Amino acid sequence: MTTTSSRFFDELAKLATNAAGAAQGVRREIDTLVKAQVERVLNDVGVVKREDFDVVREMAQKAREENDRLHQRIAVLEARLGVTPPAAGSQQGESPGETATH
């Protein structure tokens, strides 16, 4: 009777192990399907991936830094020429050194 009950529990343990493995496989499959569906929805909405966002953010940072460097160079050149920079709210298209006469 001990061998019968021992064999029964061994078979029950194998069954539980197989069921756990199958459940993990199903979980992985569901995870994959959900991920694919979420990516599809995000692409349809136009949401960018984090990697793409980081690349664009880095490009914008470099552009801001270059803009700051150019502003500094312009300020140095204007100082050498004795030109006063236009006010921040001045009209576009004025030549350097001209001031708005309104």
* pLDDT tens digits for range 11-64: 888 988 989 889 999 999 999 999 999 989 988 888 888 999 999 999 999 999
Sequence-separated contacts (24+) of 32-41 with Cβ below 8 Å = none
- Quote the pTM value: 0.46
